[in-house]
Amino acid sequence: MHATAIILAAGQGTRMKSALPKTLHRLAGRSMLRHLLASCAPVFGRIVVVLGPDMDSARAEAEPHACVVQQQRLGTAHAAMQALQHFGDGKVAVLYADNPLIRTDTLQRLLQTQMPGGLSLLAFRPADPGRYGRVIADAGGQVERIVEYADATSAERAVGLCNAGVLCADAADMRRWLQAVRNDNAQGEYYLTDLVALARADGRTVTAIEAPADELAGVNTRGELAQAEAVLQGWLRDAAMAAGVTMTDPSSVFLSADTVLAPDVTIEPHVFFGPGVTVAGNVTIRAFSHIEGAAIGAGSVIGPFARLRPNTTLDRDVHVGNFVEIKASHLASGVKAGHLSYIGDATVGHRTNIGAGTITCNYDGYRKHRTTIGADVFVGSDTALVAPVSVGDGATIAAGSVITEDVAPDALALARGRQVQKPGRAAEMRAGARTGKN
């Protein structure tokens, strides 16, 4: 029998001060909801997401998983009940999408610890328990009840073990307990945490599985989002370095959840990776570079101060230097673009050199156009290539040219005004300026 995950994601983000649904706020380039879905996918055969009304953007983010709607926000137990028809016959775990950092092995441990007929929950010991619900255990260590902060006594608030909100039980028990929850509490809501008392009343065992606080801390404010980002970045950096990546200042490197770095990549300080980046081995990424949606071939050197934008592909041994921006382009092996250039919507052949100040003029105000540059081309400094245009293999383009027509292979192209020199005229101008006769 498949286990089922019910993810509660109806939060509006009120404390985030945001029009965006809370669980769509991003960590390492990925929404909180997608982080939790990724952790759940290897463990649960079925995943159902509970949304609030008019949350089409969250529904799209949840695809291809089933979604149900909580029309009225009457509490967490009420939210879980909206998914009753999807529980199936196996184990059911209820999770919160604003707990985005729960790891797969923790979820596996939750399922393995839940005994038939019993109830399991995740708990943690934060440095500052704050307003988290407290897990109250009996003398034998079994969970007796969970008390929400608003309803807790001062003695109960002094308990350090806190509820992460995640519960797991057999489907039939989960259905029955949910339907028995009442709303006679300070908030007038149906609390999922009441399942603990209901299970105990049935004589069932309730077990708390402790996990690291970094995994289980909830995200309800921008400050907590930043704290979760810091935790996740630490995990990503540690994993990269353990896999053979060198970071000279790890704390200044920011990775996306899907960044792929091969062994023997070296990353200098203050490098940012957006989503969709893959980097092959023996690549050096120099300081202050910004990379997103790009594939970088082995042996390449990027930066410093380089920007690679989406749909950029670099083959082996490409050099992209300082203040070079590349977008939607393919640079073949051995290409060099060392300084102050923009390459957009272009194809550049093997071993071509792009001189300083070169730009591909790819946008005419209405449409984007492509530039095609062959192999072994030398593009002189301060060249403007007005797309659509192509440059044949082995061609040379003189510095300062504005290329508006195709250049044949092995041709020398010059497209600039002829220099005119007037001997002595500069001295005459200076003298005139002093006497006021100019």
Quick one: pLDDT band at residue 361, thresholds 50, 70, 90?
very high
Residues annotated as part of the active site: 339
Phi/psi zone of residue 64: left (φ > 0), alpha (ψ -120 to 50 degrees), beta? alpha
Q: Can you tell me the mean pLDDT for 49-71?
A: 93
Phi/psi zone of residue 37: left (φ > 0), alpha (ψ -120 to 50 degrees), beta? alpha
Measured on CA atoms in the order 302, 305, 306, 309, is the torsion positive or negative?
positive
Q: How far apart are CA 48 and CA 50, in angstroms?
A: 7
270 has pLDDT over 90: yes
Question: For residues 18 and 220, is the Cβ–Cβ distance under 8 A?
Answer: no
Q: CB within 8 A of 48, min separation 6: which ones? A: 4, 5, 6, 7, 65, 66, 67, 68, 83, 86
207 CB neighbour count, 10 Å cutoff: 18
Average pLDDT, the chain: 94
Length of the chain: 438
Q: CB within 8 A of 231, min separation 6: which ones? A: 101, 214
**E strand residue ranges, 256-333:** 260-261, 266-267, 272-273, 278-279, 284-285, 290-291, 294-296, 301-302, 307-308, 312-314, 319-322, 325-327, 330-331
Q: How far apart are CA 161 and CA 146, in angstroms?
A: 10
**Phi/psi of residue 133, each to 5°?**
-65, 145
Quick one: pLDDT band at residue 251, thresholds 50, 70, 90?
very high
Q: How far apart are CA 276 and CA 128, in angstroms?
A: 36
Q: What is the pTM of this model?
A: 0.91
Quick one: pLDDT band at residue 260, thresholds 50, 70, 90?
very high
Write out pLDDT tens, residues 83-97: 999 999 999 999 999
DSSP state letters, 255-267: --TT-EE-TT-EE
What was the pLDDT predicted at 313? 98
Angle between helices 104-113 and 32-40 (to 10 degrees): 50
Residue 81 buriedness (CB in 10 A; 0-12 / 13-18 / 19+) = buried
* Domains of the chain listed by start with CATH number: 4-216 (3.90.550.10), 222-413 (2.160.10.10)
Q: CB within 8 A of 134, min separation 6: which ones? A: 146, 147, 149, 152, 156, 157, 159, 161, 162, 163
What was the pLDDT predicted at 438? 59
> What stretches of 41-74 show up as alpha helix (H) in DSSP?
56-62
Write out pLDDT tens, residues 333-349: 999 999 999 999 999 99
Q: How far apart are CA 227 and CA 219, in angstroms?
A: 9
Write out pLDDT tens, residues 272-326: 999 999 999 999 999 999 999 999 999 999 999 999 999 999 999 999 999 999 9
Element spanning 428, H or E: helix 425-435
- Beta 266-267 vs 284-285: how paired, if at all? parallel
Element spanning 233, H or E: helix 222-242
Write out pLDDT tens, residues 151-206: 888 898 999 999 998 999 999 999 999 999 998 877 788 989 889 989 999 999 99
Closest CA to 173 of 122, 107, 120, 118: 118
Q: How far apart are CA 43 and CA 64, in angstroms?
A: 16
Q: Can you tell me the mean pLDDT for 351-375?
A: 96
Tell me if residue 224 falls in helix, strand or coil: helix
Q: Can you tell me the mean pLDDT for 235-257?
A: 98
Quick one: pLDDT band at residue 327, thresholds 50, 70, 90?
very high
**E strand residue ranges, 192-256:** 206-210, 246-247
